[in-house]
Each structure stands twice: as C-alpha cells, then as structure tokens.
Amino acid sequence: MVSRAGLRRHLTIAAAVCAAVLVVAAIAHKEPTDGAFAVVVALVLAPVAVILSALAARRLAGARAAAAAAVVYVLLPLLGNRLMLGTYRSTFDRHAIPALVGLHAPGTFAVGIALVAIAALAPARVAAAGGVLLAVVALVLFGGSLGTLPPNFHETVWSVTFTEWLVVATILGALLRSIERGLALGGIAIAVVALGAHRGYDDGVFWATLAAAAPAAAVLLTSLAFLVPRRRPARAAAPARPEH
C-alpha cells in the first residue's frame, strides 16, 4: 500500500509531466521552432524526459529526490532565463530555450534523454565508467575551448563565478550521495559543456547544446540540497544516577 508521502510524490511527478507538456506548447507558441515535426517530437519527449529525470534522481538519492528533480526539470527554461543578463535574455529565449525542450534540434535533446536513461538504468559501475569515459573523450577533443567561456559569460550571465561553481557544486552534491551515479551524471554534464564550448557562443549555440544534458542537469541541480549539512538528532539526556 502506498503511503501518503509516496502518493504525494507520485502526484508531484504526474503534475510535472503535465506541466512539461504545457511548457513545451507555450514555448512553441512564443518562440521559433524547427517545424511541426519538431513540435510533435518535443511534446512526445517531454513526459519521457521528466520521468527519466525522476528515475535517475531516485537511483541517486531516493524518492524525495525523484519528485524534486521532476519539478526542477520543468523549471529549467525559467532558471536559465533568470541566469542571463537582461541584455542577453532575448537571445537566450529565442535560440536556447526552444533547444532545451527539443523544439530546435530534437535529435540533440533525444541524445540527452538517452544519456540520462543510461545513467539511471545501467548497472552503477557501468554507468560510472561510461560517464568518466564520456567526459575524458570530450575533454581531450574539446577541452581546449573551455577557456573561451569565462569571457563570454562575463557579457551574458549575471555572475561568472556563480555559473562556474554551480557546475562543480551540483556534481559534488551528486557524488556525496552516490559515487557511481554521480560520476555518470557529472560525466554527461562535463562532456556536454566541453562540446558546447567547442561549438561556439554566438546566437546562443553554447546554451542550445546543453539540451543534451538537460535531464541530467535537473538531477544535478536537485543534488545541491545534499551539500547542506544534516541536523543531528539531539542526544537523549542520561538518566540521573540514584543517590547512595
């Protein structure tokens, strides 16, 4: 029998699935897309992305994390928009946000869903090895381009330091809960960031490339909570000793 807490988490994920579809439809109405086929694909993949994000979070840290990751995934476009400076938001909204939900280059978005599925469903050691291998290959091929990001961030995001350390903090949070799943998810993030830096920054190309890490990013952002120290339960008072 499902507990009340479990039922609330299931309902939260179900609500996130519905919200994700509505978000895709709203973005498709407001921003340019790659056509009707891309819109249909994005609408179909939206629930899959939410469910796999929740599953990956559950494998990482349990049922609460699963519900939180589902909600964070839905909020990703808004969170990305808020990270940008006001002068760059129109570019981000027009070129990056549609890509992050699959309305541009749906193949890239589908790759991101496949990667988080592997991180969630593969045996833990296999997932970890795959994440590490992916990151190493990407850094060897594209790592030299990472140095171009800070100057571009300086002109487009409200805090360069926050943006850079956010990636580190999310991966660290995931590693604290599960070394293997954390390596899998962190490897995806590092590889996609390196690829995005290599592809360039004009017209939001870098941010659009992050569609390949969107579901994994939802799980990693949820992992920030694991950096907060847990409160230790108060020790029970020792019983008074009888007087002699």
Looking at every residue in the chain, the average pLDDT score rounds to: 93
Residue 7 confidence (pLDDT): 87
Residue 121 has pLDDT above 50, yes or no: yes
- Look at residue 230 in the predicted model and tell me its pLDDT: 73
- What pLDDT is attached to residue 235? 59
Q: Which residues are CB-neighbours of 36 under 8 A, at least 6 positions away?
A: none
What pTM was computed for the model?
Answer: 0.91
Sign of CA dihedral 190, 174, 83, 215: positive
Whether the pLDDT of residue 233 is over 90: the answer is no
Residue in the structure block whose two tokens are 């390596």 = 183
pLDDT category of residue 3 using cuts at 50, 70 and 90? confident
Residue 173: name the closest of 135, 181, 115, 118 by CA.
181
Residue 4: predicted pLDDT: 82
Mean pLDDT on 16-34: 97
Residue range 123-145: mean pLDDT, rounded = 97
- Quick one: average pLDDT of 207-233? 91
Which has the closest alpha carbon to 191: 143, 119, 127, 128?
143
Query: How far, in Å, CA of 184 to CA of 220, rounded?
Result: 11
Confidence of residue 241 (pLDDT cuts 50, 70, 90): low
Please report the pLDDT score of residue 244 as a whole number: 47
**69/58 Cα distance (integer angstroms):** 9
What percentage of the chain carries pLDDT values higher than 70? 93
The answer to whether residue 239 scores a pLDDT higher than 60 is no
Give the integer Cα–Cα distance in Å for 59 and 215: 14
Across residues 100-123, what is the average pLDDT? 96
In the three-class reduction of DSSP (H, G, I as helix; E, B as strand; rest coil), residue 158 is classed as coil
**Does residue 2 register a pLDDT over 90?**
no
**Is the pLDDT assigned to residue 227 strictly greater than 60?**
yes
